[in-house]
Structure 1
Amino acid sequence: MFSFFRKKPPATPAPAPVATPAPASPTVVVPPALAPVPPPPPAAAPAPPPAVGGGLIGSALVAPLEIPVAPPVAPERQSWMDRLSVGLRKTGSNISQVFTGAQIDDALYEELETALLLADTGVPATEFLLNAVKQKVAATGATRPVQAKNILVDALTQLLRPLERPLTIGEHQPTVIMVAGVNGAGKTTSIGKLTKHLADAGETVLLAAADTFRAAAKEQLAVWADRNKVEIVSQEGGDPAAVSFDAVSAGKARKKDVVIVDTAGRLPTQQHLMEELRKIRRVVTKADASAPHEVLLVIDGNTGQNALQQVKAFDAVLGLTGLIVTKLDGTAKGGMLAAIAQEKPVPVYFIGVGERLEDLETFSAREFALALLA
């Protein structure tokens, strides 16, 4: 279930309701002699027995415990949750082991701090989570480690919540999405998966092969275009900015819903290449004054704390609007999402835990926290 679309069609005013007078009820007059005698009042009902689960302590009635029922999870989303839990096992197992003891004590907190740091959560986020757990344990009087684990799930959800935001499609035509990332992060593959989901949802997509820096990048994107039956704009040895301009112009002329610009992968330390990214952004704006509408960075979950540095560097050049985090199934450093949330909260639109199409999904803070500490 890949329900990230939030189309906003133009609002049409609802017609004013027309008031219709209710039909008059006929009046029936009953002669006093024939008026029915009202029945006697019913006897008082006996007091109901105590609810199941309740009981008496001394002379006070104990009310039954009301356990809220969680809303049912769609089968598709549950399948994704299962894959996410398996994918995050390398990261989560080290943290979950902290809560296998018999009591909550200073040793547990020390182990938890170490486990969070090893997961590349970062010092600021680790301090936030540790303090949140300690305060809630003290406030609730929790004594069992499993209670502390549940408190950590809530604290992590709270920390990650600002990253949870849907990608909006439909406010502009076309919606221009510019995608960047370092080589090997899974940028072009993520574009292909995103294109597939968009096409399956009925969106018309145009791809721009502006990654002229990497060998075979254009061919790889062309395979995705052919597989998804979408159009692609490319040039043999063309300038990336020129390819981007042509693609956005073509998207407007052909009334496409989405134009995705695949830019060249580069390290943030390669200043001349980062300047080329800035140039692509300027040229895209010349083709459409409101574009790009989304600037996404694809980051590899294996990079850990380095991912935070990438987010800061690319945001300084491009002004990021969202992230795609890939390869979370192959890393023990999945805590870096907490570091991003604490220090540079750029929304995470999608996360990936494998190579298959269904292994890329929309991000949910609660699902991630539950899967990490399953």
Structure 2
Amino acid sequence: MGFFERLKDGLSKTRQRFTERVESALFRRKIDAQVYEELEDALLAADMGVATSQYLLERIEKEARKQKLSTADQLIPVLRQLIVDILHENPTAMNMVDTGLTIVLLVGVNGVGKTTTIGKMAHYYRSQGKKVMLAAGDTFRAAAIEQLVVWGERAGVEVIRQTTGSDAAAVIYDAIAAARSRKVDILFCDTAGRLQNKTHLMAELEKIYRVITREIPDAPHEVLLVLDATTGQNAIVQAKLFKEIAHVSGIVLTKLDGTAKGGVIIAINQELGIPVKWIGIGEQKDDLQPFSADEFAKALFPNETLSSSEESMDDK
């Protein structure tokens, strides 16, 4: 089974709660106030949040008037295109340097799958012929170091680590030196995820940034925030917090296969302006893949035909 089919399966819970509910509410009905109320309920049920739901409703009503739509089922392709437009607003491609070392920092609270994500990314880029190294920068938890070592062995990549309680910035410094000497292409750096003491975490991340930029001025090239899709709107809260304390450039959304709250992807893009760059739909090494807005929309609305992704609603 290809990744798209797995994505379609993984989004089945979200699709059942959202898309099927939307299609049921809008099927061959005259457009009226009740239609928009039921559509809003469907958007909120998929964890798109109040702000994003209101934004979509306003745009849908505008398009319905502009296109002189008469029946509610005509709103479905409008909604789908608006979602695609939102997901295309922010670039999803990874920022990788053409030559030399690319440094990717991963941040996020404990329990979201951060360490597992790093291991899967290592496997992904190793399968593309890249030389990869991992840095065990979450020195707060011994389990995080041990788990990263296990994933490093699975992916066939070296892990730079120190003992629990060591200075995280020192681990990253050693990893950069080792990566340079071994001609590594990509260095993935794990970090601690405790938000109970935000001040401490901020100070630790700032120190890591100083070390990285001193060694490689234009790095880190990506700061990826790992979020658990099953937490729904709480993922938005976490994203806002990390946006304040870290230079987040992209989102990794894990556990999409276990939730009906996949609509949070749209809310993250629309409310925070941070692109989702990777999605996880399972436990296997290949179940983490780069995010595609068009494939996501196709999996969410399997019965709709999408116009060109470049043809946004503003162009019509």
8 Å CA contact 1:322, 1:346 repeated in 2: yes
Task: State how far apart, in whole Å, the 2-side matches of 1:106 and 1:371 are.
Answer: 28
8 Å CA contact 2:269, 2:276 repeated in 1: no
Q: Which amino acid aligns with 1:88?
A: L
Q: Which residue of 1 aligns with 2:120?
A: 193
Q: Which residue of 2 aligns with 1:102?
A: 28
8 Å CA contact 1:326, 1:352 repeated in 2: yes
Report % sequence identity.
Answer: 45
Instruction: Specify which of 282, 288, 303 is matched with residue 360 of structure 1.
Output: 288
Q: Which residue of 2 aligns with 1:329?
A: 257
Deviation at 1:206, TM superposition (A): 1.2
Task: State how far apart, in whole Å, the 1-side matches of 2:282 and 2:44 are.
Answer: 25
8 Å CA contact 1:266, 1:274 repeated in 2: no
Structure 2 residue 42 is the aligned partner of structure 1 residue 119: no
Task: State how far apart, in whole Å, the 1-side matches of 2:142 and 2:184 are.
Answer: 28
What SS does structure 1 have at the residue aligned with 2:88? helix
Alpha-carbon deviations, 1:205-237, whole Å to 9, x = none?
A: 111111111232111111121222211111123
What is the TM-score of this pair, normalised by structure 1? Answer: 0.75
Task: State how far apart, in whole Å, the 1-side matches of 2:53 and 2:172 are.
Answer: 41
Task: State how far apart, in whole Å, the 2-side matches of 1:150 and 1:117 are.
Answer: 19
Structure 2 residue 139 is the aligned partner of structure 1 residue 212: yes
Q: Which residue of 2 aligns with 1:52?
A: none
What is the TM-score of this pair, normalised by structure 2? Answer: 0.88
Say which one has the larger Rg.
1
Structure 2 residue 8 is the aligned partner of structure 1 residue 90: no
Larger helix proportion, structure 1 or 2?
Answer: 2
Q: Which residue of 2 aligns with 1:169?
A: 96
Alpha-carbon deviations, 1:18-73, whole Å to 9, x = none?
A: xxxxxxxxxxxxxxxxxxxxxxxxxxxxxxxxxxxxxxxxxxxxxxxxxxxxxxxx
Q: Which residue of 2 aligns with 1:305?
A: 233
Structure 2 residue 76 is the aligned partner of structure 1 residue 149: yes
Task: State how far apart, in whole Å, the 1-side matches of 2:22 and 2:235 are.
Answer: 26
Structure 1 pair 131–354 and aligned structure 2 pair: CA distance change class (3 A): same
Task: State how far apart, in whole Å, the 2-side matches of 1:268 and 1:296 are.
Answer: 20
- Most deviating of 97-106 and 331-340: 97-106
Alpha-carbon deviations, 1:85-125, whole Å to 9, x = none?
A: 22222222222223223313322211110111122212221
8 Å CA contact 2:48, 2:266 repeated in 1: yes
Structure 1 gaps of 5+ residues are: 1-75
Task: State how far apart, in whole Å, the 1-side matches of 2:197 and 2:55 are.
Answer: 30
Task: State how far apart, in whole Å, the 1-side matches of 2:133 and 2:183 are.
Answer: 10
Deviation at 1:287, TM superposition (A): 2.7
Q: Which amino acid aligns with 1:132?
A: R
Q: Which amino acid aligns with 2:51?
A: P
Task: State how far apart, in whole Å, the 2-side matches of 1:351 and 1:268 are.
Answer: 26
Q: Which amino acid aligns with 1:313?
A: L
8 Å CA contact 1:205, 1:258 repeated in 2: yes
Alpha-carbon deviations, 1:172-216, whole Å to 9, x = none?
A: 511011111111111011111100011111111111111111232
Q: Which residue of 1 aligns with 2:204?
A: 276
Deviation at 1:164, TM superposition (A): 4.0
Deviation at 1:152, TM superposition (A): 0.8
Aligned ranges 1:25-44 → 2 under 5 Å: none
Structure 2 gaps of 5+ residues are: 303-316
Count of residues in Structure 1 that have an aligned counterpart in Structure 2: 297
8 Å CA contact 1:163, 1:365 repeated in 2: no
